[in-house]
């Protein structure tokens, strides 16, 4: 019997698969979800030393320019995620307890989020945070400007982040004039730009911003304000508003700034190129009625909303597009539920339900988990 046991130990397993270390480290690990990578750090000492934030990001860097794979929003004092590709999205501390108790999330950019928080009884400060690595940088608010936008390009040779706060210089019956305060993490200082832009008095800048191809965009009521940070240039582009528009939002589509607009009859996706809008997709709402799964029962809800939108602003807030479209996928919200609509297969599916999405100040942001380090 002893001889038989020894002979069995010497028989090599035919099920063993050997993977080259270069393939494992350069092709497999960088493509895994962040949650899995955190678990793999405990496999052995070698993986623990390999899977540090900086080393993982250096492996992920070729993939860092991919478009966002989901959305993030602040839900009952914690981050909540909507994944569009089926891969789980999570962070070690979704409550962001390392920031303190009073936290708001206003914008995101290439794996970083920013907003306002209060610590140690001080006045509110602006923070920039990677919720995956829990790295945080903060700065005092500028003298003027209560809206903050975030610009960050991890693929650049010097990946420092920038913050932009537009502010009203003056307003009158003919126009509103805006200026800009700019913060560079490379200097740690705020400075006021010499640029000024004018928009109509009916158009007001909101808190939503998007950073695309080196340009930071802010949504206004009827316009988009843009600022080229490296060249210190600013301007205004009118939104392609439709007379039949019900609700709309700025967003991202195929790595371009997009304007996603729902009219009485259509879903329209516009993209901005060279500061000109071009309609990229147009899908009739009647197609949703034909192909919608019976169990979703969203179409009847949509029809009731469409009848009362013009008279009821609160109802308007319960039906809106979400700020991300991925190739053939369009995301929208109806009440407390979020859906995606596949424009290629005409399939409608519910992906999330949360009462937090009902608020007028609900903020949903394009987001991708990343180990990107925040520069000093």
Domains parsed from the chain with CATH numbers: 14-51 (no CATH), 58-367 (2.120.10)
What's the token pair of residue 249?
């939002």
Identify whether the C-beta of residue 110 lies closer than 8 Å to the C-beta of residue 369.
no
Cα 258 from Cα 271, distance rounded (Å): 4
pLDDT, tens digit, for every residue of 229-266? Answer: 989 999 999 999 988 888 899 999 988 999 999 887 88
7 vs 247, which has greater pLDDT? 247
The pLDDT tens digits of the residues spanning 123-147 come to: 789 999 999 889 999 999 998 888 9
Amino acid 159: pLDDT: 84
The total of other beta-carbon atoms located within 10 Å of residue 240's CB is 16
pLDDT one-digit tens code per residue, 85-99 = 666 677 878 888 888
User: How far, in whole angstroms, is CA 34 from its chain's centroid?
Assistant: 17
Cα–Cα distance, 285 to 339 (Å, whole number): 14
Mean of per-residue pLDDT scores for the chain:
78
Handedness of CA 56, 159, 82, 116 (dihedral sign): positive
What is the full DSSP assignment across 158-216? Answer: S---EEEEEEEEEE-SS-EEEEEEEEETTTTEEEE-S--EEE-TT--EEEEEEEETTEE
Please list, in sequence order, all residues whose beta carbon lies within 8 angstroms of the beta carbon of residue 320, skipping any fewer than 6 positions away. 247, 248, 249, 262, 332, 333
**How many whole angstroms separate alpha carbon 167 and alpha carbon 218?**
12
Q: What is the pLDDT of residue 51?
A: 60
What are 13-30's pLDDT values in tens digits? 555 555 555 556 555 665
With beta carbons less than 8 A apart as the criterion, state whether 265 and 223 touch. no
Element (H, E) at 60: helix 53-60
CA distance 290 to 288: 5
Instruction: Give pTM, 2 decimals.
Output: 0.77
pLDDT at 319 over 70: yes
Q: Tell me the pairing of strands 245-253 and 319-326.
A: parallel
**Is residue 19 classed as helix, strand or coil in its secondary structure?**
coil
> Cβ neighbours of residue 73 under 8 Å, at least 6 residues apart?
79, 80, 82, 105, 356, 357, 362, 363, 364, 365
């Amino acid at each position: 019997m002893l001889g038989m046991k020894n002979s069995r130990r010497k028989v090599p397993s035919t099920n063993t698969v050997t993977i080259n270390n270069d393939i494992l480290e350069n092709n497999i690990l960088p493509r895994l979800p962040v949650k899995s990578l955190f678990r793999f750090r405990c496999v052995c000492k070698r993986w623990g030393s390999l899977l540090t934030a900086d080393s993982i990001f250096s492996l992920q860097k070729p993939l860092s320019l991919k478009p966002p794979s989901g959305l993030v929003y602040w839900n009952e004092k914690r981050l909540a995620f909507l994944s569009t590709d089926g891969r789980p999205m999570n962070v070690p501390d979704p409550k962001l307890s390392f920031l303190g108790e009073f936290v708001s999330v206003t914008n995101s950019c290439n794996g970083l989020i920013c907003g306002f928080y209060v610590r140690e009884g001080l006045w509110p400060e602006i923070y920039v945070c990677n919720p995956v690595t829990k790295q945080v940088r903060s700065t005092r608010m500028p003298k003027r400007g209560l809206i903050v936008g975030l610009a960050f390009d991890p693929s650049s040779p010097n990946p420092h982040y920038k913050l932009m706060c537009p502010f009203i210089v003056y307003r009158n019956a003919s126009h509103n004039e805006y200026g800009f305060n700019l913060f560079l993490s490379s200097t740690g200082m705020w400075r006021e730009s010499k640029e000024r832009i004018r928009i109509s008095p009916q158009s007001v800048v909101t808190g939503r911003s998007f950073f695309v191809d080196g340009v930071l965009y802010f949504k206004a009521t009827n316009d988009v304000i843009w600022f080229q940070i490296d060249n210190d240039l600013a301007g205004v582009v009118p939104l392609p508003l439709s007379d039949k528009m019900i609700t709309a939002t700025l967003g991202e589509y195929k790595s371009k700034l997009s304007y996603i607009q729902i009219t009485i009859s259509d879903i329209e996706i516009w993209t901005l190129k060279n500061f000109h809008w071009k309609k990229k997709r147009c899908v009739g709402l009647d197609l949703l009625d034909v192909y919608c799964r019976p169990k979703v029962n969203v179409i009847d809800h949509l029809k009731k909303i469409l009848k009362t939108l013009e008279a009821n602003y609160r109802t308007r807030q319960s039906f809106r597009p979400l700020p991300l479209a991925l190739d053939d996928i369009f995301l929208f919200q109806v009440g407390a539920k979020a859906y995606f609509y596949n424009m290629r297969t005409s399939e409608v599916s519910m992906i999330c339900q949360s009462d937090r999405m009902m608020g007028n100040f609900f903020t949903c942001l394009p987001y991708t988990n990343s180990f990107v380090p925040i520069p000093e």
